[in-house]
A and B are shown apart, each in its own frame.
Chain A
Amino acid sequence: MLTEPEQRLIAAIQNGFPLSSRPFHEMGLALGLSETELLTQLQDLQNKGVIKRIGVVVHHHELGYRANAMVVWDLPDQMVQDVGAKIRSFDFVSLCYLRRRCLPEWSYNFYCMIHGHKREETLQHADLLTQECGLTPFPRQVLFSRRRFKQYGAHYFNNIST
């Protein structure tokens, strides 16, 4: 788990960096850290894998990817590692997870977010991936996204005063 200073840092940066010339200097003022200290701490969190990436976070739907689907399979547990490794080669997949089943109602354990500009394109992507990874024999569901009620980075540690 994270230390309290790390939690404070994350609470302060999770809504994005200021769009100004010295964003880390500016955020450091609020945290009581120098620019250098803040940069060092961010680098540490990235090295520890707490920060997955740093950069421009897009709204893909608004930028043309309008047919987005969560595609799920029920795969035998012993297959999952091999399939997961293969998914990297498909550039239309943004996320790929193994998740615990919620039995008996939900037996799917392998999840991919697949993106396209149109439904047909997204379905073609899903079929291509199914064939290339040898997933044809296994139950599959395609759950297209409809309304988006909320999408932003997770909010952590909002109760911690900064």
Chain B
Amino acid sequence: MVLTPLDYRLLNEFQHDLPLTPQPYLAMAQQLGITEEEVLERLRLMMQAGLISRVGVVLHPRRVGISTLAAMRTPPEQLATLAALVNGFAEVNHNYEREHEFNLWFVITAANPTRLEQIIREIEQQSSLKVYTMPMEEDFHIDLGFNFRQ
């Protein structure tokens, strides 16, 4: 889809601080000088085009459950299969191939430590590979949001 200057404003100005009011899209529309229906329509189109994931919340993993970054060294020819195995767990949210000997990186977030351990063990058993874990010790709270340009 071709993005309009208005779309860029929708993307850039509302990654944070969506107003918690009964009609948040109306509040956005007022800030942009357009109608609520136009805001909803552009958001729907950008969602259909895969440019935005959702309008909603980003949670702080450590305040909700227990999470860890994890990595595996997989033989390249097995990578896609092992990525699918890892994706099979609903508790895995991010899962990326990265350019490194440690080539599969994912984040597991579980409701409690027992479940987290269980997932790690199951992935190790089913893949016959070690899962390296690097739990977060401190978040330096950057998250400024992205700035998109036309």
**Which residues of chain B have C-beta atoms less than 8 A from A49's C-beta?**
60, 63
Q: Once the chains bind, are B134 and A146 in contact (CB under 8 Å)?
A: no
| Binary interface encoding of chain B residues 20-56 relative to chain A, with 1 for a CB under 8 A from any of its CBs, else 0 | 1111111000000000100010011001011111111
Q: Once the chains bind, are B55 and A16 in contact (CB under 8 Å)?
A: yes
Which of A48, A146, A157 has most B Cβ within 10 Å? A146
Q: A49-B60, A154-B93 are in contact. Are A55 and B139 (CB under 8 A)?
A: no
Which of B43, B49, B139 has most A Cβ within 10 Å? B139
Q: Once the chains bind, are B148 and A54 in contact (CB under 8 Å)?
A: no
Q: Once the chains bind, are B146 and A151 in contact (CB under 8 Å)?
A: no
Task: Among B16, B22, B71, B143, point to the contact of A39 (Cβ < 8 A).
Answer: B22
Q: Once the chains bind, are B142 and A87 in contact (CB under 8 Å)?
A: yes
Q: A55-B16, A87-B140 are in contact. Are A13 and B25 (CB under 8 A)?
A: no
Q: Once the chains bind, are B54 and A16 in contact (CB under 8 Å)?
A: yes
Q: A148-B96, A153-B58, A153-B59 are in contact. Are A55 and B14 (CB under 8 A)?
A: yes
Task: Among B18, B51, B54, B97, point to the contact of A147 (Cβ < 8 A).
Answer: B97
B127 contacts the other chain (CB 8 A): no
Q: Once the chains bind, are A55 and B137 in contact (CB under 8 Å)?
A: no
How many angstroms from the CA of A154 to the CA of B136 in the assembled complex? 15
Count of residues in B whose CB is under 8 Å from the partner chain: 76
A135 contacts the other chain (CB 8 A): no
**Which residues of chain B have C-beta atoms less than 8 A from A96's C-beta?**
139-140, 142
Instruction: Please report which residues of chain A, range 53-82, place their CB below 8 angstroms from some CB of chain B when the two chains form the complex.
Output: 53-60, 62-65, 70, 80
**Which residues of chain A have C-beta atoms less than 8 A from B106's C-beta?**
149-150
**Which residues of chain B have C-beta atoms less than 8 A from A99's C-beta?**
69, 134-137
**Which residues of chain A have C-beta atoms less than 8 A from B59's C-beta?**
10, 14, 50-52, 153-154, 156
Q: Once the chains bind, are A59 and B36 in contact (CB under 8 Å)?
A: no
A118 contacts the other chain (CB 8 A): no
| Binary interface encoding of chain B residues 80-103 relative to chain A, with 1 for a CB under 8 A from any of its CBs, else 0 | 000110110011111111111010
How many angstroms from the CA of A50 to the CA of B138 in the assembled complex? 15
Question: Smallest CB–CB gap between B9 and chain A, Å?
Answer: 11
Show the binding face of B for A, using Cβ within 8 Å: 10-11, 14-18, 20-26, 36, 40, 43-44, 47, 49-61, 63-65, 67, 69, 71, 83-84, 86-87, 90-100, 102, 105-107, 109, 111, 132-140, 142-149
**28 pairs, CB–CB < 8 Å, chain A vs chain B:** A10-B59, A17-B54, A19-B25, A21-B23, A43-B20, A51-B58, A52-B57, A52-B59, A53-B15, A53-B17, A56-B18, A57-B54, A58-B51, A59-B52, A59-B53, A63-B148, A99-B69, A99-B137, A102-B71, A102-B132, A105-B132, A106-B102, A147-B97, A149-B87, A151-B93, A151-B94, A153-B58, A158-B90
Assuming A19-B40, A19-B44, A146-B96, what are 15 further A-B pairs, CB within 8 angstroms?
A10-B64, A13-B57, A19-B25, A50-B60, A52-B60, A56-B55, A58-B52, A64-B149, A70-B105, A94-B144, A143-B100, A147-B96, A150-B87, A153-B58, A156-B111
